[in-house]
């Protein structure tokens, strides 16, 4: 951990941004350009999960333009969890961030979320839509209720006090992420990541973020069936699956060496 008042390693840390895509032709270019505009050293990994629209040819052109370091095409649609696990394996940065391709989350907030990790306080940081402090689109009451219920259930099993377990914005040290046994293929990856971080003894911080939620007409994909499945994943991940081993935190982070 850097001493109090020491400058943070903004010029030495590399942030891997893993972006899963599935039929996001309308928004993925804007997301990538916003990510590339960040004042950080970046490793952008895009995993397309079997898109059937124009996402794939667009991604090829954006890769040729230099906006993407690693572009991976899954042969068929396997789910967000499968795409993320593939992206995690390809990531080469010191810290890994998850970024959806649908413009619901603002990439300009990633440096703020990275700061507690660089300061040595956190091993993982969640961006919470429910802490307040950022602009939010007002809609989908039951979706919000479902998120809070799933977060409560996750907290019961993990003994954490998160406010937003289902958030897309999770930043995790790569040397920690590589030790977590992740197996979920679909939206169950969110409670699985949280359970594994808790089992590993990771220090998790939350910071408030803005959120521009889409409607289903605008392309939102997660529904009530995914919520029911997530409840089962919370139970199975915490009770019936192999657990993460306690993580031995290095005395000096790789970017500070």
pLDDT confidence bin for 217, thresholds 50/70/90: very low
Whether the pLDDT of residue 221 is over 80: the answer is no
Of the pLDDT bands very low, low, confident and very high (cuts 50, 70, 90), residue 136 is: low
- 3-state SS record for the chain: CCCCCCCCCCCCCEEEEEEEECCCCCCHHHHHHHHHCCCCEEEEEEEECCCCCCHHHHHHHHHHCCCCCEEEECCCCCCHHHHHHHHHHHCCCCEEEECCCCCCCCHHHHHHHHHHHHCCCCCEEEEECCCCCCCECCCCHHHHHHHHHHHHHHHHHHCCCCCCCCCCCEEEEHHHHCCCCCCCCCCCHHHHHHHHHHHHCCCEEEEECCECCCCCCCCCCCCHHHHHHHHHHHHHHHHCCCCCCCCCCCCCCHHHC
pTM of the complete model beyond 0.85: yes
pLDDT of residue 172: 99
Q: Could you tell me the residue ranges of all domains in the chain?
A: 14-245
pLDDT tens, position by position, 94-115: 999 999 999 999 999 999 999 9
Query: Which CATH number is associated with domain 14-245?
Result: 3.90.550.10
Average pLDDT (217-244) is 74
**Higher model confidence: residue 142 or residue 84?**
84
pLDDT at 137: 60
pLDDT of 135 over the 70 cut = no
Q: Is the pLDDT at 216 greater than 50, yes or no?
A: no
């Amino acid at each position: 951990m850097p001493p109090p008042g020491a400058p943070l390693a903004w010029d030495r840390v590399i942030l891997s941004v893993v972006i899963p895509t599935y039929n996001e032709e309308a928004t993925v270019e804007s997301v990538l350009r916003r990510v590339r505009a960040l004042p950080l050293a970046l490793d952008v990994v895009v995993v397309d999960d079997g898109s059937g629209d124009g996402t794939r040819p667009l991604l090829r052109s954006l890769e040729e333009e230099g906006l993407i370091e690693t572009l991976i095409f899954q042969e068929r649609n396997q789910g967000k969890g499968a795409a993320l696990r593939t992206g995690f394996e390809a990531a080469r940065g010191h810290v890994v961030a998850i970024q959806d391709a649908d413009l619901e989350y603002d990439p300009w907030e990633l440096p703020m979320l990275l700061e507690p990790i660089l300061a040595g306080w956190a091993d993982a940081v969640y961006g919470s839509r429910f802490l307040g402090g950022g602009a939010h689109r007002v809609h989908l009451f039951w979706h919000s209720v479902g998120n809070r219920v799933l977060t409560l259930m996750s907290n019961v099993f993990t003994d954490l006090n998160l406010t937003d377990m289902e958030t897309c914005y999770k930043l995790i040290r790569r040397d920690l992420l590589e030790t977590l046994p992740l197996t979920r293929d679909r939206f169950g990856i969110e409670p699985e990541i949280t359970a594994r971080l808790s089992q590993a003894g990771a220090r998790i911080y939350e910071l408030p973020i803005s959120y521009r939620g889409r409607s289903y007409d605008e392309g939102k994909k997660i529904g009530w069936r995914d919520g029911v499945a997530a409840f089962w994943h919370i139970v199975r991940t915490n009770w019936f699956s192999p657990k993460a081993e306690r993580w031995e935190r290095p005395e000096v982070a790789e970017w500070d060496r």
